[in-house]
Amino acid sequence: MMAERSFDRRKLIRLGAAATGAALLSGCDRLFDNPAFRGTLEEAEDLHRVTQRILGGQALAREFAEADMSPVFRANGSKSVADAIYRAHLAQGFAHWSLRVDGLVERPLDLPLVALKQMTQRRQITRHDCVEGWSAIGQWRGPRLEQVLALARPRPQARYVVLHCADLYHGKPYYESIDMIDARHPQTILAWEMNGKPLEEAHGAPLRLRVERQLGYKQAKFISRIELRASLAGLYGGKGGYWEDNGAYAWYAGI
Amino acid sequence: MSDIPVHDPDPHPALRGGDVVRRHRLSTRLWHWTNAVTLLVMVMSGLMIFNAHPMLYWGEYGANYDRPWLKIGSARVGASEFGYVQIGTRRFDTTGTLGLWQNADGQTQRRAFPGWATIPSRYSLAAARIWHLAFAWVLAGGLALYLLWSLVNGHLRRDIHITRTEWSPRHLWQEVRDHARLRFPAGAAALRYNALQKIAYALVLFGLLPLMILTGLAMSPGTDAWFPLAGELFGGRQSARSVHFLGMAALIGFFVVHIAMVVLAGPFNEVRSMITGRYRLPKERG
């Protein structure tokens, strides 16, 4: 039989509880400051992307009926744009506004809003999921991003589609990016209409991205320019988006 | 020192109170401590994620203009400010703990869950998501491996399986009475999980943990595209988020009872048995 060792159990338990408490309170924060540890946790993003792509393929996001729509669709992020040129376009109903498509393309384009409206349109009622946890269901209409890209003819080196936005968020230009897989997804559209009406300023007039299988911060508003790139390095913070650069949010926002 | 390997929990006539036996298998011990750390990280980082939008809804959608069934917030009445938890239309004052509290530097914070309960301790949704979504793999992978291994080595059949006699109301009532009077089995009988214990473990293994994984998946817009059933099962993404939160509360409930039972049953012996596997059988009452 095992010899009973004499232990001051109470002391041991108290010591253990104190150590556990202290370790928990500051330990996790300090552990997270360790680049190797944090890097390991952040590796999970690749796992998420690869798993979702393998299991999901080109699956479509769920679409809903009109009866399922949110009574009020919450606007988030920048709700207005200070830029003088933008405000002039807004005052003119974007009649003289055009979307710039450039970067790694054979044929850089300036597409007026009316040209975008004349292309084949897709209408979809989808759920917008914010990273914070809330959701809203709305109806969107616009041409597929793939159609717009096809007009510009992407070069083979093009791997990312960068959406440059007209707004500054906390003083910095908002932008987002997706890869060619999501860019070519059937539900990825450049929406100019929401709930049957032209996009309001708060929701990103004149044009916003809908990339339905990702979270809200990827749905770039006030799009002014689409740039195709081989890499995201060298662009702003280099992580492919405003929140990726300024908040350590994941670039792949499918979960 | 002669440890007697006991992998068959049937009462062993040779064993008496005071004997030290090998109790928990390595797979059980490894999973237990991995899970202990993982659940702690999941709960604390999850509470921080909740802080980003401290409201819960039923249905597919839900945001600031919609009516939450649960909300944690703060409000000002005249000169005084208070924190509250609102369930339906009823508000409960939780100043100091939820909704309105002071951080370690004595500054007033208006967030749902306080810094001592969250990872990280300072508000950061992005960091909490990095923790939560990485450890989700550990939780799901660990559970899958453990269940598979426990099926192979017979742990589920021998130790968790609830027999017909144990299901009888008379037996269950007797166990409830024994628990209420803090009468725990002694000698070799202490090696068996009692029915209440088995029910609790089975509920966590086959109920709560899979529920947490499923409701977690249901909140992912990517998963929702190829596995819409996850969300539809619960009546929508916001319902899944609510169930995820309630499941977390149930797991904390399990944790509290679990710790209480460990303390009542002899914390040193119980913790040692989960670390080294060695367990000293409780002595029969004289």
Judge whether A53 lies within some domain: no
Q: Kindly tell me if the per-residue pLDDT of B286 is higher than 70.
A: no
Given B44, B124, B226, which is nearest A59 (Cβ)? B226
Judge whether A137 lies within some domain: yes
Q: A18 vs chain B: nearest CA distance in angstroms?
A: 14
Asked if residue A234 and residue A109 are part of one domain, the reply reads yes
Question: What confidence category does residue B184 fall into, taking pLDDT thresholds of 50, 70 and 90?
Answer: confident
Residue B37 contacts A, CB cutoff 8 Å: no
pLDDT tens digits for range A120-159: 999 999 999 999 999 999 999 999 999 999 999 999 999 9
Nearest-by-CA chain A residue for B125 = A132
pTM above 0.95, yes or no: no
Domain count, chain A: 2
Asked if residue A121 and residue A21 are part of one domain, the reply reads no
Judge whether A47 lies within some domain: no
Asked if residue A74 and residue A114 are part of one domain, the reply reads yes
- A74 Cβ partners below 8 Å, 6+ apart? A134, A136, B63, B64, B65
Residue A127 contacts B, CB cutoff 8 Å: yes
- Contact B60/A127, CB-based, under 8 Å? yes
Contacts of A52 in chain B (CB under 8 A): 220, 222-223, 226
- Interface mutation target, options A45, A47, A251, A255, chain B, most CBs of B under 10 Å: A255
Partners of residue B27 on adjacent β-strands: none
Residue A61 carries which DSSP code?
P
Q: Kindly tell me if the per-residue pLDDT of B1 is higher than 80.
A: no
pLDDT tens digits for range B211-252: 999 999 999 999 999 999 999 999 999 999 999 999 999 999
Residue A126 in tokens? 């989808």
Q: Mean pLDDT, chain A, as a whole number?
A: 93
Q: Kindly tell me if the per-residue pLDDT of A1 is higher than 50.
A: no
Residue B75 in tokens? 């409000």
Question: What is the extent of the structural domain holding A151?
Answer: 61-247
Residue B14 contacts A, CB cutoff 8 Å: no
pLDDT tens digits for range B260-271: 999 998 999 999
Question: What confidence category does residue B104 fall into, taking pLDDT thresholds of 50, 70 and 90?
Answer: confident
- Hey, is A244 helix, strand or coil? helix
Interface of B with A in 167-226 (CB under 8 A): 219-226
Judge whether A4 lies within some domain: no
pLDDT (average), residues B98-120: 95
Asked if residue A29 and residue A125 are part of one domain, the reply reads no
Interface of A with B in 154-193 (CB under 8 A): none
Return the sign of the alpha-carbon dihedral for residues B160, B163, B168, B172: negative
Asked if residue A85 and residue A35 are part of one domain, the reply reads no
Judge whether A124 lies within some domain: yes
Residue A94: name the closest of A109, A115, A119, A108 by CA. Answer: A115
Residue A213 contacts B, CB cutoff 8 Å: yes
Question: What confidence category does residue B182 fall into, taking pLDDT thresholds of 50, 70 and 90?
Answer: confident
- Contact A42/B130, CB-based, under 8 Å? yes
Asked if residue A157 and residue A204 are part of one domain, the reply reads yes
Quote the pLDDT of residue A9.
64
Nearest-by-CA chain A residue for B228 = A62
Asked if residue A98 and residue A20 are part of one domain, the reply reads no
Asked if residue A149 and residue A88 are part of one domain, the reply reads yes
Q: Report percent pLDDT > 90 for chain B.
A: 84
Given A32, A52, A71, which is nearest B223 (Cβ)? A52
Q: Kindly tell me if the per-residue pLDDT of A186 is higher than 50.
A: yes
Asked if residue A103 and residue A21 are part of one domain, the reply reads no
Q: Report percent pLDDT > 70 for chain B.
A: 95
pLDDT tens digits for range A2-60: 444 445 666 766 667 666 666 666 789 999 999 999 999 999 999 999 999 999 999 99
Asked if residue A111 and residue A37 are part of one domain, the reply reads no
pLDDT tens digits for range B4-26: 555 555 556 678 888 999 989 89
d(CA B27, CA B40): 20
ipTM: 0.90
First to last CA, chain B: 25
d(CA B177, CA B185): 13
DSSP H helices in chain B: 26-52, 125-152, 155, 164-167, 169-180, 195-202, 209-218, 221-226, 229-234, 237-265, 267-275
Quote the pLDDT of residue B143.
95
Asked if residue A152 and residue A125 are part of one domain, the reply reads yes
- A233 Cβ partners below 8 Å, 6+ apart? none
Quote the pLDDT of residue B285.
67
Asked if residue A97 and residue A132 are part of one domain, the reply reads yes
Q: Kindly tell me if the per-residue pLDDT of A232 is higher than 70.
A: yes
Backbone φ and ψ of A85, nearest 5° = -65, -40
Quote the pLDDT of residue A4.
45
Q: A89 vs chain B: nearest CA distance in angstroms?
A: 30
**In this structure, are residues A223 and A216 in contact, taking their beta carbons and an 8 Å threshold?**
no
Partners of residue B73 on adjacent β-strands: B84
- Contact A28/B64, CB-based, under 8 Å? no
Q: Kindly tell me if the per-residue pLDDT of B63 is higher than 90.
A: yes
The number of CA neighbours under 13 Å toward the Cβ of B259 is 8
Question: What confidence category does residue A251 fall into, taking pLDDT thresholds of 50, 70 and 90?
Answer: very high
Contacts of A255 in chain B (CB under 8 A): 133, 219-223
- Contact B133/A44, CB-based, under 8 Å? yes
